[in-house]
Structure 1
Amino acid sequence: MRDPEERLAEIEQRRAEGDLRVGAAVTEVGRWLGRGAALLVNLFNPRVIVLGGYFARLADQIIPVAQAELDRLGMTSAAERCGFAASTLGFGAAARGAVNVVIERVLSDPTTIAFRPS
């Protein structure tokens, strides 16, 4: 399995070289993100949707397309208040967040850790 950073570098290189298929694929990702965002906005009314991982690195191409789709499909007042932002935390952000949740839980109640005497 290839490293995500390597795959993303290849995508960026092929796009920079003018590969039309890559450009079309990135645009399609933006469309689908915008459609999904419209559902979230219509249900939960968030103010911002943060893109991470691949999406964050390609945000300059994805966000305009996703925002246009959100504006088209979202309820007007909710869609107008919501925007997209790119995370700056990198590919490990989700893992770090999950670890933080576990650490906080253990620190707040150390009895959550099962102790097995040896």
Structure 2
Amino acid sequence: MGLAALVRLATPDHAYGIGEQVVRDPEKRLAEMEQRRAEGDLRVDAAITEVGRWLGRGAASPVNLFNPRVIVLGDYCARLSDRIIPVAQTELDRLGLAAAIGRCAFAASDLGFGAASRETVDVVIERVLSDPTTIAIS
């Protein structure tokens, strides 16, 4: 579940594409969610809980199949991990196979927004620099 879905759940009256001034910057939208949560907005907390629930459900099959030791959360999930991880872990524990879930835990990345895309670019650049023949020149 992406940040747009979280925003729609938490603030259906102010979701992406609704209203006169739409904030599309994910950092600003996340800051808004964090502010509303700090102010005690129950819809935000309920939306974050729902994200955690779906994250745990979604992780169950890959954990059962591949038996990883950790699932690293990035972007907005990392910033909201204090609430998301316990819910996701509970759901994973409920749906996963005992042998697999006993070794697997969720962890929050501290690399910030866009870490996955930056890492992907780094991998591509490293590959091209290490072997320039990987690029086809037309």
TM-score range, shorter chain: over 0.9
TM-score, length-scaled by structure 2: 0.79
TM-score by length of 1: 0.92
In the other structure, the counterpart of 1:16 is: 38
> Residue 83 of structure 1 is aligned with which of 92, 102, 105?
105
Partner of 2:67: 45
Root-mean-square deviation (CA, aligned residues, Å) is 1.3
1:59 aligns with 2:96: no
The letter for the 2-side match of 1:33 is L
Structure 1 segments of 4+ aligned residues over 2 angstroms from their partners: 112-116
Amino acid at match of 2:83: Q
Matches within 5 A, 1:99-118: 99-115=121-137
Matching residue's letter, 1:14? R
User: How far is 1:114 from its partner?
Assistant: 4.0
Gaps of 5+ in 1: none
Aligned residues: 116
Displacement of 1:92: 2.1
CA distance in structure 1 between the partners assigned to 2:69 and 2:134 by the alignment: 35
Counterpart-to-counterpart distance in 1, 2:136 and 2:59 = 40
